[in-house]
Amino acid sequence: MIIPQTKKQDIFDEINNIKISDPYRWLENADDDDVKNWTLEQNKYTESVLKDDSFLTFSNELAKDFRVIGFSTPAPVNGKYFYEERQPNEDQSALYMKNGLNGEPIKLIDPNGRREGNTTSLDYWQTSRSGKYVTYGISEGGDEMATLHIRDTESNQDLSDTITHCRYSSVQWTPDDSAFFYTRNARPGTVPKNEEHLHVKVYLHRLGDDPDTDELIFGVDRPKDDMLGISLSVSGKYLGISASQKWTENELYVYNRDTKEIKPVVVGIPAKFSMYLPEGKVLILTDYKANNNRVLCNSYENILDPIDTWEEFIPEREFVIEGIKLTKDKILVEYLVNVCSEVVVFNYEGVQIEKIPLPRYSKISGISTERTGIEFFYGVESFIFPKIVYRYDPNTLKYSEYRKIDNPINPGNYEVTQEWCVSKDGTKVPMFIFHKKDLTMNGTNPTVLYGYGGFNHSATPGFMRSWVPWIERGGVFVVTNIRGGGEFGEKWHKDGIRERKQNSFDDFISAAEHLVAKKYTDSEHLGIYGGSNGGLLVSSVGVQRPDLFSAVCSSVPLTDMVRFPKFGIAMRWVHEYGDPSIKEELINILKWSPYHTAKEGVEYPSFLFATGEKDSRVDPLHSRKMTALLQGINKNNDVYLFTEIDTGHGMGKPVTKLVESQAFKLSFFSRKLSLKV
């Protein structure tokens, strides 16, 4: 099958006296019949090439590896235990409850079988204080715009209360189980089209009330791109509200339920603040005057005091604090030490008690605590083993293995190392290199380099279930920790965003050059992979250094960085990338925006763009436009696009679609990097 033909138009914008070409503007309109037909033809073309024998081999192996029992870390709630679990024959995880640690599992919420293709997903859930009720969000087809329901765990039936447009709602139940605070998006028709995923506000819902009459607590006359989170004190008197439009700073407010007043706690300080409300004192985790974060404390009576007067409870250390979890008598502080997890236990006097033992090159994948209890659970995983859940037993004061997910590989047959390269400006950048033992360093090993580098997200060790077939055949998989992420504190993040965004790309390029210099691979056998912001990363780097890579897989990426804020929730990201409506920032963006830096006369690596039809985070138009552009430029190397139907950005994707999409990627990389299948 030949490459689908794509019409090219002479469309130009003039922004701040800068003339910008946009020849594939017509591909932005997903409702247009021409765009639908073009997308269908692209899928047929990609399938005709990549759905080969290797695709079938990878699909069968992935299906076998994915079809195991998976589960989350249990959440203890008043003697009950709540957790998600997916059976081998299921596409989606269901929510279960046990009455007592050894109680029989009771299935509460099962999204499987509700929709053809099993694209109904359980997006989030939150128990009431007693465990009698669970609020949960259900969305369809990957659109993430969930409807919030309430399940009575004793009768295992839903209440009649149903609240629409609750995208990843933050929920906090009152202590008496009679009501809950929650965040809700604007209803369609009440805001301009394409802004339904914005305009978030905080409401109070009382059980049995009509949600349309719910009390509006916070959000009047606020910016439409507010990102809101809430927390409630153990007493139920104080509601903490975090509000932000940026990823580098936020405001804190407190709502007094007795007086119904909202007062500012932190406003106008360019730093991040997270409020925790246990019994006895208020805690704030912040990077204010602390690149690696510290914990401040105060009494509830003095919660409105200026932040500089708060007591420093846990000082900043050499490595960044990722987060904290609270039990009745312990504060669990999760550090990131050279990109690996370390958990330190403190008491409520701020005194360190112990460290929780963790394996080398591992990460915490979920700590479940109860603020009024002393038991807790935590999950651990690494490149060579999937999640193992441990339980802290308050009776024996010991940690013991509670449950673990079956491992499809023998850890003894694999090797993980951490190496460091030097970026363009001299910054040292780490990476994890994962492969089978006794790898021959001949400079030709098929290698995939992964990166993210944005939004303060840290690329930590995790089990590579999707890449087991690659590693088993002698391939190498590498995870970089480039600037823009949060691996080494807020400075590491800020050094890879806005006017410094090129640092992320330089770091990634340096990691690739390190792999070549160390004889892991060469440019003919080196591919790169990233998703979302990571899709932008590999698209940009593939265009900047076409000589360095043979294959680029860009999943749900941004590529048109001039028009990105015009679509969906993407206007929230101008604080990360820059605002193209401002001339100085547009000039910077045009230096690295993939859609605007790819030029005629250059042969770029082979590309595979993978996107979701209903992606409400990163519009599929980015993949369509970049595919069309590169197909029109490349004379020899292939450019493919595969658009998954009835899926979104990736959350809630059923196992069948996970297997299919990963098989495409493995087929693409094995074909382009000469992996023997």
Q: Which residues lie across from 82 on neighbouring strands?
A: 75, 97
d(CA 400, CA 404): 11
What pairing do the DSSP bridges indicate for beta strands 606-612 and 551-555? Answer: parallel
Q: How confident is the model at residue 1 (pLDDT cuts 50, 70, 90)?
A: confident
User: Could you tell me what percent of the chain has a pLDDT over 70?
Assistant: 100
What is the strand order of the sheet 282-286 is part of? 273-276, 282-286, 294-298, 311-314
Above 90 in pLDDT, residue 193?
no
Looking at residue 117, its pLDDT comes to 87
Looking at residue 263, its pLDDT comes to 98
Q: Given CA atoms 181, 182, 187, 192 in this order, what sign does their dihedral have?
A: positive
Q: What is the pLDDT of residues 84-95, one digit of tens each?
A: 999 999 999 999
Q: What is the pLDDT of residues 337-363, one digit of tens each?
A: 999 999 999 999 999 999 999 999 999
| Neighbour-count burial for 59-97, b at 16+ CB within 10 Å, e otherwise | bebbbebbeeebbbbbbbbeebbbbbbbeeebbbbbbbb
Looking at residue 310, its pLDDT comes to 98
Q: How confident is the model at residue 194 (pLDDT cuts 50, 70, 90)?
A: confident
**Residue boundaries of the structural domains of the chain:** 34-64+409-673, 69-230, 233-316, 321-407
Looking at residue 618, its pLDDT comes to 96
Q: Given CA atoms 545, 551, 555, 560 in this order, what sign does their dihedral have?
A: positive
Check: pTM over 0.95? Answer yes or no: yes
Q: What is the pLDDT of residues 552-568, one digit of tens each?
A: 999 999 999 999 999 98
Q: What is the pLDDT of residues 389-426, one digit of tens each?
A: 999 999 999 999 999 999 999 999 999 999 999 999 99
Phi, psi of 224 (to 5 degrees): -70, -20
Q: Choose the CATH number for 34-64+409-673 among 3.30.70.100, 1.20.58.340, 3.40.50.1820, 3.20.10.10.
A: 3.40.50.1820
Above 90 in pLDDT, residue 116?
no
Residue 624 contacts residue 27 (beta carbons within 8 Å): yes
Above 90 in pLDDT, residue 41?
yes
Looking at residue 646, its pLDDT comes to 85
Q: Determine the residue type at 13.
A: D
Compute the average pLDDT of residues 542-548: 98
Q: What is the pLDDT of residues 131-169, one digit of tens each?
A: 999 999 999 999 899 999 999 999 999 999 999 999 999
Looking at residue 350, its pLDDT comes to 96
d(CA 209, CA 543): 55
Q: How confident is the model at residue 484 (pLDDT cuts 50, 70, 90)?
A: very high
Above 90 in pLDDT, residue 648?
no
Q: What is the pLDDT of residues 630-647, one digit of tens each?
A: 999 999 999 999 999 889
Compute the average pLDDT of residues 235-255: 97
Of 298, 296, 291, 325, the residue nearest 313 (C-alpha): 296
User: Could you tell me what percent of the chain has a pLDDT over 90?
Assistant: 96
Above 90 in pLDDT, residue 650?
no
The mean pLDDT value of the chain amounts to 97
Q: What is the pLDDT of residues 216-235, one digit of tens each?
A: 999 999 999 999 999 999 99
Q: How confident is the model at residue 677 (pLDDT cuts 50, 70, 90)?
A: very high
The class level of CATH for 69-230 reads mainly beta
Q: What is the pLDDT of residues 604-617, one digit of tens each?
A: 999 999 999 988 89
